[in-house]
Structure 1
Amino acid sequence: MKCVLALAFGSASAFVAQTATTQQSSALLGAKEDLVALAEANTDAIGKSIGFWDPLGASSLDFFGLELSGRLPAGATIGYLRHAEIKHGRVAMAAFVGYCVQANGIHFPWTPFPGFTEGLSPPEQWAALPPVAKWQFFVYIGILEALGECFPAGEHYAVGGKPGVYPSIKTPNDQMASCLVYPWHGFPLDLFDPFGTVAKLPEEKKERGRRVEINNGRLAMLGIFGFLSEQKVPGSVPFLTGLVKPLPDMEIMGPFVGTDGVASIF
């Protein structure tokens, strides 16, 4: 009897899941078609040569089953992945430029922090920072991350909003203003387009700028990891051999590892 009930319930649940999956797949297919169209519209040299490239099939996934359960609309995973790529690309562009600047010994005219010495590579400069300084970076980044999720209703990237958008921190919406991490005095400028120059551009230039940003972000992600890979494993990136300082005995990706190789969060 138990076996019969198990099979019956199993068949029923399988039928429901299959029906829901079919409906979800149709809706998800539309979001994926938009993604393919976006890739094919990228006529720049890199985008045109690569086109739509999804070797892991990430555009067909449903993270945590939230779309299938109806808690998020179809295409939410694609919106999440697109937003993540744009955000990581922006961080990588800042990291790549910062690495080039710091590796060439360019810094403020004063000593940036106690113990700073000339000739340190970017990973060594980070390792030489005292833990309290590192915590300041992480706390500030955490605040920006929290505020970056405070979208007005219907404008979040996972529910149909435009990926890559960072909500205004100068004129916060109600959700952001009620956030515990929003500073009481507010921010004088927005994080994105602080001087309003991008908003004044014609739409065709904005569209091209978005394509350029994605391409540059992808290159920057490869670039910054190329620097770190060559430092950690000399010769792994032949093009960079001899251009970056090798650090085979240093834990480059340890955020709280000091120059002595010991991790300390305080």
Structure 2
Amino acid sequence: MKVDGLVGATAPFGYFDPLGLSKGKTLDQMVTFREAELKHGRIAMAATLGWVVQPVFHPLAKSCHVSNPTDPIKSLSEVPPVGWLQVFIFIGFLEFLGIQIKKNPTYVPGDLLGASELVDNTDVTWVKYQQKELNNGRLAMFAIMGFWIQDLLFQNTGDMLFKPLVS
């Protein structure tokens, strides 16, 4: 079932819902799902960039006292409890801001910075921008999952991205 009014049906898949999660859902429910998809896609894009950049650029590693800054998984296990507390407080603050922004009557789901107020939502360029953001987020979600699986299977990150699995 395609939900009219939502951007996201793009080539080559068109409206992509292989598990049928949109069946029987209202437009409000689908808007909530789309907002979650955008948020997870944005986080995945940042995580994917961080995973690839971390082996060669990690300026804060020494100040954080991380012994193995080039391995994201090992680095996670070395973060002290106070560091995790800071991370969760920061995430909570961002979520609180998001809730406050959503109270605005002109809020468009996923648009936390107000860009949709500056453009016409029917403009072809704006629709293409939204489609690109969705597709890049979807790709990044698959990419970061691939990185995690690679690390779990081979206990190797970073340089493994550029080496063949079989020699």
TM-score scaled by length of structure 1: 0.51
Counting aligned pairs with the same residue, the percent is 31
Confirm or deny: 8 A CA contact 1:61 1:77 kept in the other structure: no
Confirm or deny: 8 A CA contact 1:93 1:216 kept in the other structure: yes
Structure 2 runs not aligned, ≥5 long: 163-167
Partner of residue 152, structure 1: 103
CA distance in structure 2 between the aligned counterparts of 1:59 and 1:108, rounded to whole angstroms: 43
Partner of residue 40, structure 2: 88
Partner of residue 84, structure 2: 134
Structure of greater relative contact order (alpha carbons < 8 Å, 6+ residues apart): 2
Cα deviations across residues 129-159 of structure 1 (Å, max 9, x unaligned)? 111111101111111112212223544xxxx
- Whether 1:77 and 2:29 are equivalent positions in the alignment is yes
Match of 1:219 among 139, 147, 150: 139
Partner of residue 242, structure 1: 160
Partner of residue 57, structure 1: 20
Larger radius of gyration: 1
Cα distance change on mapping 1:112 and 1:207 into 2, 3 Å = farther
Confirm or deny: 8 A CA contact 1:105 1:119 kept in the other structure: no
Cα deviations across residues 93-118 of structure 1 (Å, max 9, x unaligned)? 0000011111x23111771312x235
Partner of residue 165, structure 2: none
Query: In the TM superposition, what are the counterparts of 1:1-266 in structure 2 within 5 Å?
Result: 32-35=3-6, 38-40=7-9, 47-62=10-25, 74-102=26-54, 104-108=55-59, 111-114=62-65, 116-118=66-68, 120-150=70-100, 151-152=102-103, 154-155=105-106, 162-166=108-112, 192=113, 199=118, 203-234=123-154, 242-243=160-161
* Aligned-residue offset at 1:121: 0.4
Q: Report the secondary structure of 1:51's partner residue.
A: coil
2:13 counterpart letter in structure 1:
I
* Aligned-residue offset at 1:218: 0.4
TM-score scaled by length of structure 2: 0.78
Confirm or deny: 8 A CA contact 2:40 2:137 kept in the other structure: yes
Structure 1 runs not aligned, ≥5 long: 1-28, 41-46, 63-73, 156-160, 167-191, 245-266
2:154 counterpart letter in structure 1:
P
Cα distance change on mapping 1:146 and 1:233 into 2, 3 Å = same
CA distance in structure 2 between the aligned counterparts of 1:122 and 1:231, rounded to whole angstroms: 9
* Aligned-residue offset at 1:199: 4.4
